Amino acid sequence: MRSDWNRCAGAFLSCLLCTAMLAGCAGSCKPGSGGTSTETTAQTDKANTTDTKDTTGTSGADRPGTESGAQENSKWKPGDDYVLSEAGPDNADGTYVFRKGVVHDGIRIIYAGKGENANKTVVIDAGHQKQAMSATEPNAPGSDVMKAKVTAGTTGSFTHIPEHELNLAVALLLRDVLAERGYRVVMLRETADVGISNRERAELANQTVGHTDGILVRIHANGSDDSSVVGALTICQTAANPTAKCYRESRALSEAVLDAYCEKTQMKKRSIWETDTMTGINWCTVPSVILEMGFMTNKEEDETMATTAFRVAAAEGVAAGIDRYFAAER
């Protein structure tokens, strides 16, 4: 009789424990969307444009949008409210520690918005990555033109800084500025060691923006065979692009970002290049812009872009352009 009572009590306690665990997991994590995105490189005046992405585990306490101290243990589920440590399970029992305000779904890192900008999503793609992906993918939906999934980008002719490193440094600063202003910020990479194609980057942006008012901003630097070529430019699709349907918005975004960026950094303003050759634009269904910050093949611009002062100004300039875009009637 006693053993029967013990078995029943044990079963009852197990049920209570399972119910508590399920309750703890429910409500805290919304299902996240998987996906991939990618981008290619562009050239105007021999201008080299590429991109790259990555994500890494983060320590939540010092990241924008996180709330240190608001932690709980649970089995991992992607969602809009929590970030997962990429180092593996935090606890011996295989559970993770989540930090409120951020989510890492294995690819993207999403910072929750706040205030009047909470429903405005800015997807930031730091162009290129440490390792190129020479395998090919379609340049656009339904296209038989194949392009490399992602290139390694250019390199500073004088500083020898890889483009992917410069792009990421500015992208991280831009993330912080936008998070401070309450935007919902999505990082497609926060380290160099990623493997995300241009198509995948665009598709990730499409999925992440969802029903919010969102854009994709791709940060790049340029290169030329002529070391005297200088200046910044932005890139968007043409009005005739059959797959990227946001020409008017992308053009407005390109104008706003280029103007504000050049005002803040004092870089020479070149032009907006409209082209349908960019994989990362052709697969994108939300307004997008590629910013070519300057030429790493020019001594003055290469050395300028290596400075902290320039990178801070660049992030502030791009953020100002994003503010202008969202403030304008579209």
Q: ∠ CA(313), CA(318), CA(320), 5° rounding? A: 95
CA distances from 254 to 95, 218, 261, 264, 288 (A): 44, 11, 10, 15, 8
Say if CB 185 and CB 65 are below 8 A apart.
Answer: yes
Locate 312 and state its tokens.
Answer: 């801070």
Say if CB 167 and CB 220 are below 8 A apart.
Answer: yes
Locate 78 and state its tokens.
Answer: 């992607």
- What φ, ψ does residue 30 adopt, rounded to 5°? -85, 150
Question: Which residue, among 172, 303, 321, has the nearest Cα to 230 in the 3D structure?
Answer: 303
Enumerate the domain spans of the chain. 1-30+72-100, 31-55+107-327
Place of tokens 């562009």: 42
Q: Cβ-count burial of 62 within 10 angstroms (0-12 exposed, 13-18 middle, 19+ buried)?
A: exposed
pLDDT of residue 47: 39
CA distances from 268 to 24, 73, 197 (A): 54, 51, 30
pLDDT of residue 142: 94
pLDDT of residue 162: 98
- Amino acid letter, residue 244: A
CA distances from 187 to 105, 174, 202, 203 (A): 11, 10, 12, 13
Please tell me the pTM assigned to this model. 0.72
Q: Which helix (H) or strand (E) holds 292?
A: strand 288-295
CA distances from 97 to 54, 191, 205 (A): 21, 21, 26
65-87: string of b/e by CB count within 10 Å (b at 16+)? bbeeeeeeebebbbbbbbbbbee
Mean pLDDT, each 10-residue run in order, the chain (330 residues): 43 40 32 32 38 31 29 34 42 46 71 90 96 95 96 96 97 95 93 91 91 94 98 97 92 98 98 97 96 98 98 98 91
Written out in words, the top-level CATH class of the domain with range 31-55+107-327 is: alpha beta
pLDDT of residue 92: 55
Say if CB 278 and CB 235 are below 8 A apart.
Answer: yes
Q: Cβ-count burial of 97 within 10 angstroms (0-12 exposed, 13-18 middle, 19+ buried)?
A: middle
